[in-house]
Structure 1
Amino acid sequence: MSAGAAAMTRGDSSTGRGNGGRQNNHFENLENPAPDEGLIHGIYLSHGASNNLISNNAFRWISGGPMRVRNDSNGNLVRENLFTRTSVDPVGFFSEWSCSQSCATTYNQPAECGSHGNVFEYNTLYDGYDGKWLPSWHRTPAGADYVGPAGCSNDGEPWLETRSNVRP
C-alpha cells in the first residue's frame, strides 16, 4: 500500500461504470451483524461495471465477500491485493452473484446475465472472516458455465481466470 492510501469506512459500489478502478486503498472493518453479515462488500461492481483495475488494496475484517461482481460486469482485473479476515463461508475472496431465472421468478424481477472475462491474479489470500480457510472464488448461480437468460453472452470467455495467487 502506498503512504497516501485511503482508509475506507464503507464499501465501494460501482454500478454500470467502467474503465476505472480502485488502487491503493484500505477497505477495513466493514461488518454486518448476523443474519446479514454476508451483505456487505469491499468493492461491488454491478450491472455492466466493466474493464476496471482493482490493485494494491488491502481488504481486512469484511464480513461479506470482499470483491464482488454482478450482472454482466466483465473484463475486470483484480491483482496484487491483500485479503485477510474477509468473507463468511462459503463465499470466496472473489465472488459473483447474479439473479438466475428461478431467482427472478421468486423475487419478480428480471433475470441477470453472468459476468465474464474477469481476472483474479497475484493476490495474497490469508484467511476467512472466522480465521478458517476460504476458497479463492464463489459463484451463484453455481457453475462456471452460467451465461444467463436469452440475450446474454459470455463472448467465449470464462467467467473468471485465477492465477498466481499466494496463500502464505
Structure 2
Amino acid sequence: MNRTFKTVASSDISISELMLPSNTNFSGKIHGGYILSLLDQIAFACASKFSGNYCVTASVDTVNFLKPIEVGELVTMKASVNFVGNSSMIVGIRVEAENIQTGKIKHCNSSYFTMVAKNSEGKSTLVPGLILSNMKDVRRYFNCIKQVSLKKEQNIHEEVFDYTSEESLESLKKYNVKLEL
C-alpha cells in the first residue's frame, strides 16, 4: 500500500472563544483545567482532520502556562500536526488571548499532544506522511524528533533505574526531602 502525504498546512485549525466568569478559578483567572479541555478538543480536531480518522489522546507531552487568561478576553487556539509516526501525530498548539477592548494579544500557552488515529474497529491505523513546505515546518519537525527521543530515553531510564540502591538514595540528600524509610 502506498502512503499518502499531506502538508502541515492541511492540518491547520483554530478555535476562538470568549472567556466567561463561569470558567474562572479561585483567583479569578481562567481555570487551567478549562484550557486543558479546550486544548484536547482542538488536538482531536486537528489530528482527525489530518488523518481522516477518529483520534484519541495518547499523551499530553507539554503544557506551558505562560500568562494568565482574564475573564472577557478572546482566546484563540491554533493547532497543526508537527510530526507523524505510523499511527501517531504530535499536534502543536499555540494559545493567545486578546483583550477585545484594546486589541492587545498575549501568548498564554504552548502545548504538544500526541494523538493516535483509530480505524472503525478501534485499532491504530496508518496516518498520512507529512510534507514540510517551509523552514518553520522543518524546525517544528526537528523539535518533535528531539521530544520523541527524550521521551524514549526517559522510558528506558525508568525501566533500568534502580531507585532502591544505596547510591540512588544517597543522591536524594541534595534535594529538599527527608527520608524516613
So what's the TM-score if we normalise by structure 1?
0.27
Q: Which has the higher contact order (CA 8 A, sep 6+)?
A: 2
Q: Which has the higher helix share?
A: 2
> TM-score, normalization: structure 2?
0.26
